Structures are given as C-alpha cells and as structure tokens.
Chain A
Amino acid sequence: GAGVSQSPRYKVAKRGQDVALRCDPISGHVSLFWYQQALGQGPEFLTYFQNEAQLDKSGLPSDRFFAERPEGSVSTLKIQRTQQEDSAVYLCASRGASGGTNTGELFFGEGSRLTVL
C-alpha cells in the first residue's frame, strides 16, 4: 500500500481482556518496528522484525506482550490480560532494505490507541 496501515485506530478493552493490533507495512519493506507511545511521551521501542524474523524483542514490557510477522509482511501485536498501564498508542513503522547510506528513516502508521478500563 501507499503507507503503513494500522487497525483498529481505537480500541477500548476491559482489564483482563486480550487485544490484537494489526500493522500492514509499506509493500516490500523488510524492517518492521512496534513502538509504544504513552500520553505526553515519545515513542518507546518494543520490538523489531526483519522479514519474518523477530530480531529484537527487548522492549516488550512483559510476557503478556507478543508480536508476530509470520509471512514477512503483516504484523500483529497481541497483548494478553490487559492492564491499565497498557493504555497507550501503539505505533507501527517500516523501512525498506538499506541501500547506499542507511540513514534509518522510519515510515509510521497513524497508530492504534488502546484504552484499558
């Protein structure tokens, strides 16, 4: 697609529910990132995929968070047994294969705003 697409844009969950957030990156982009943005804060790294391989999940805050990208394109971030502190905007970003100078530019989706009641 033309840009990074995320769904749903807004999700309200009751505490304890499981949620799944979807990211459709720019077609052909090898790298995919998930970031968490709390209110009034900058994006914080969660996890990184290169194609279907999850190369870095060091930013995931707990084992309730799980991400996958089984075919190297669409990715899903799943949060189990949601807690109030999980309320945030979850941003997905993608980047093409590096060529020449890799300057690290990321292309972001509009984000999925999760509110846990």
Chain B
Amino acid sequence: GNSVTQMEGPVTLSEEAFLTINCTYTATGYPSLFWYVQYPGEGLQLLLKATKADDKGSNKGFEATYRKETTSFHLEKGSVQVSDSAVYFCALGPYGNNRLAFGKGNQVVVIP
C-alpha cells in the first residue's frame, strides 16, 4: 500500500539551529512527495513538493530531496526562525482516486 512514516515526537530547537525532519514512504508506482505545514490556528498549506526521483523541492529556506533508493523525503532547513514553529506533515500521492496519504506530523518549536 501507500503510506508515510515520520519520526516520532516533537522537535524543539533554538533559533538559527539546523532542522531535519525524517520522512520515509512506501508506495506503489511513482507518486509525488509533499511537505505540508500547519501554522497555529491555520489550515495545512503546501510547503514544497517533488514529483520524481532525485528532484529537490525548496521553499522558504526549506529543502527536501526525493530519494528513491532510500524511499525518503527528509525535510531540512539550515537556520530556523521562531516563525518556523508549526506542525509539518509529509505526504505522498496522488493515488487511487487522487487522494494523498499523510504522515502523523511533527510539531516543531523554535525557541528564541
């Protein structure tokens, strides 16, 4: 089947620290991969995406590379800001009737 696994637990780090959030996937076919972000009190919004193997998605200083050999799509940012505090969801798709499959999400808290 199609599924996404994110690392367990919230992530707390200091401003300007390096952020990595792990995401691995299981998929049939060749899905696109996404990172969505949910800021406090807001809906999910697309952060970045990659549509095929070795593609790198990037936005707002965040990057993720579609690694088919390791079935991964880890999210990285070199220097986080307090405003990056949010919940981050990895997702893949579309499959079936155009649906996306989401991971459980990781809460990121950036401390000044």
> Which of B4, B32, B44, B97 has a CB less than 8 Å from the CB of A108?
B44
Contact status B96-A40, CB under 8 Å: no
> Which of A35, A104, A110 has a CB less than 8 Å from the CB of B98?
A104
> Which of B32, B34, B46, B99 has a CB less than 8 Å from the CB of A56?
B99
Does A62 touch B at the CB level, under 8 Å? no
> Which of B43, B94, B103, B105 has a CB less than 8 Å from the CB of A110?
B43
Q: Is the interface on chain B under 10, 10 to 19, 20 to 34, or 35 or more residues? A: 20 to 34
Q: Is the interface on chain A under 10, 10 to 19, 20 to 34, or 35 or more residues? A: 20 to 34
Does A65 touch B at the CB level, under 8 Å? no
Tell me the residues in window 25-79 of chain B with beta carbons closer than 8 Å to chain A beta carbons.
31-32, 34, 36, 41-46, 49, 51
Tell me the residues in window 67-117 of chain A with beta carbons closer than 8 Å to chain B beta carbons.
91, 93, 95, 101-111
Q: Which residues of A contact B93 (CB under 8 A)?
A: 104
Complex Cα spacing A98 to B31, Å:
15
A residues contacting B by CB (< 8 A) are 3-4, 31, 33, 35, 40-45, 48, 55-56, 59, 91, 93, 95, 101-111
Complex Cα spacing A107 to B45, Å:
7
Q: Which residues of B contact A105 (CB under 8 A)?
A: 34, 46, 49
